[in-house]
């Protein structure tokens, strides 16, 4: 077939079942380089893994809350109530149960911002306890820091630092729950825990 004086050749065939690069070249087969797509897939999987590790406890809590909601929730539907007051109570209880996994995931998202920030700083400046100190007093913050440090090879130093500061695996509640419980209802707590500003990673890992 001719077009403007130039011959238009038909595209090569698809190399179905042919894994030999030499055969693909000599038989004029179509070859699609998927290296870029594979790199994107690999980085996406790594990012999901980092997100899970940075908020592992919160994700476990979320799954538990969803299981409880699935078991108890149907019994709290307002139209199953026998009175108005029971309907009001059931609605309030159901709203509370629904909000728990939402809050847990908002917390996990905020911890992921801490993870990215700490990982950037550790990569740029090396292991330094001054980088970890602001995240000491919360178990979820410590988990995020441990995830970032572990991916850069500083997991052992980070764990040892937390141990020296007196923190163990069973220290789940944040320090302020005992020292300043009123902080739970402060705008600062809600903003930093559930609505942390998105941190744009400066290092392309």
In a domain, 161, yes or no: yes
Quick one: tokens of 141?
């913050």
**pLDDT band of 3, cuts 50, 70, 90:** very low
How many residues in the chain?
205
Residues 79-136: pLDDT tens digits?
A: 777 888 888 999 999 999 999 999 999 999 999 999 999 999 999 999 999 999 999 9
User: CA-CA-CA-CA torsion for 140, 144, 150, 155, nearest 10 degrees?
Assistant: -40
- Higher pLDDT pick, 24 / 116: 116
Residue 34 included in any domain: yes
Please, are residues 131 and 140 in contact by the beta-carbon 8 Å criterion? no
3-state SS, residue 80? helix
β-strands 2-3, 6-7 pairing: antiparallel
* 70, part of any domain: yes
Rounded to 5 degrees, what angle do the CA atoms 168, 173, 174 make?
Answer: 95
Asked if the structure places residue 88 within a domain, the reply is yes
Structural domain containing residue 106:
16-194
* Dist. CA 95–CA 91, nearest whole Å: 6
Whole-angstrom Cα distance, residue 69 to residue 49?
Answer: 26
For residue 63, being part of any structural domain is answered with: yes
Please name the helix (run of DSSP H) or strand (run of DSSP E) that holds residue 188, with its range, or none: helix 187-194
User: The dihedral of CA 149, 125, 166, 111: what is its sign?
Assistant: negative
Dihedral of CA 49/51/52/56: which sign? positive
Q: What percent of the chain has pLDDT over 70?
A: 89
Q: How far apart are the C-alpha atoms of 55 and 106, rounded to whole Å?
A: 10
In a domain, 7, yes or no: no
Has residue 9 been placed in a domain? no
């Amino acid at each position: 077939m001719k077009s403007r004086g130039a011959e238009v050749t038909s595209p090569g065939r698809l190399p179905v079942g042919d894994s030999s690069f030499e055969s693909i070249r000599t038989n004029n087969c179509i070859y699609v380089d998927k290296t870029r797509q594979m790199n994107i897939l690999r980085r996406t999987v790594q990012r999901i893994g980092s997100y899970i590790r940075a908020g592992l406890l919160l994700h476990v809590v979320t799954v538990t809350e969803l299981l409880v909601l699935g078991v108890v929730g149907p019994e709290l539907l307002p139209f199953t109530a026998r009175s108005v007051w029971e309907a009001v109570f059931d609605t309030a209880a159901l709203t509370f149960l629904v909000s728990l996994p939402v809050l847990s995931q908002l917390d996990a998202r905020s911890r992921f911002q801490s993870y990215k920030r700490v990982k950037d700083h550790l990569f740029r400046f090396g292991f330094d306890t001054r980088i970890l100190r602001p995240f000491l007093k919360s178990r979820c913050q410590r988990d995020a820091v441990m995830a970032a440090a572990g991916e850069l090879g500083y997991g052992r130093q980070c764990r040892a630092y937390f141990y020296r500061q007196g923190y163990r695996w069973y220290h789940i509640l944040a320090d302020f729950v005992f020292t300043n419980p009123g902080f739970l209802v402060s705008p600062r707590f809600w903003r930093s825990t559930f609505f942390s500003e998105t941190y744009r990673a400066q290092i392309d890992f």
